[in-house]
Structure 1
Amino acid sequence: MEELLGMLFFAAILGLIPGFIAKSKGYSFGAWWLYGFLIFIVAIIHVLFIPNKKNIEQKIINDLERYKKLFEEGIITEEEFESKKEDLKSKLNTIIKKD
């Protein structure tokens, strides 16, 4: 019984590693901790390859600013700007909801 408790404690500690890495990338600590607790080796590899949400969100914001500038300069039409704006908002909402 003590061995089982020791193993569970060790797994809980190991689960912290993917949890903290995921949190630093903008994802849920709790979900990734559980993933790491249950199957650490898969979770640690997975979390190292997931994109940083914060970088993706910033890129979308930068793209929106770029399209706004193009619209203001008359390079793209209002319809094109609104279309791009809606696409970018949709992408941003998808990223936020995935958490």
Structure 2
Amino acid sequence: MKLLGMDAPIVLIWLIVGIVFGIASGKVAQKKGYSYSAFCALGFFLGVIGLIVALVMPDKAVKSVDIADGLLKYKRLLDEGVISQSEFDAKKKELMGEDS
């Protein structure tokens, strides 16, 4: 039996491979704070390339935690009088990635 010009078992294998890479890409991306469905589609259509893209994407959650920890550290220094308000504001802009 032919499907899409190929034997049915070959089409079934490609479909299963696409689903496996789609789910794997989606789950990796979701753990990093990205859209599950977008990376699931990427993995389904691009296979291992979609999974590699999901694996090399930076972790959004870690960046948020790093920013919060940095702000708390500099706020404590400000409260203790170690740094001035202008120094705190400069560090806050730096951590938040704002342009001067």
- Runs ≥4 residues deviating over 4 A: none
The runs of 5 or more residues in structure 2 that have no matched partner are: none
Aligned residue number for residue 46 of structure 1? 53
Partners of 2:20 and 2:56 lie apart in 1 by 21
SS state at 2:58 partner: coil
Please report how far the alpha carbon of residue 82 of structure 1 lies from its aligned counterpart in structure 2 after TM superposition.
1.4
The sequence identity of aligned pairs, in percent, is 31
Q: Deviations over 1:20-50 (max 9, x none)?
A: 0110111110111111112121122222232
Partners of 1:19 and 1:31 lie apart in 2 by 7
Query: Aligned AA for 1:15?
Result: G
RMSD of aligned C-alpha atoms? 2.2
Give the aligned length: 91
Structure 1 stretch displaced more, 49-58 or 21-30:
49-58
Partners of 2:47 and 2:17 lie apart in 1 by 11
Query: Aligned AA for 2:56?
Result: F
Say which structure is richer in helix.
Answer: 1
TM-score by length of 1: 0.75
TM-score by length of 2: 0.74
Higher RCO structure, 1 or 2 (CA under 8 Å, sep 6+):
1
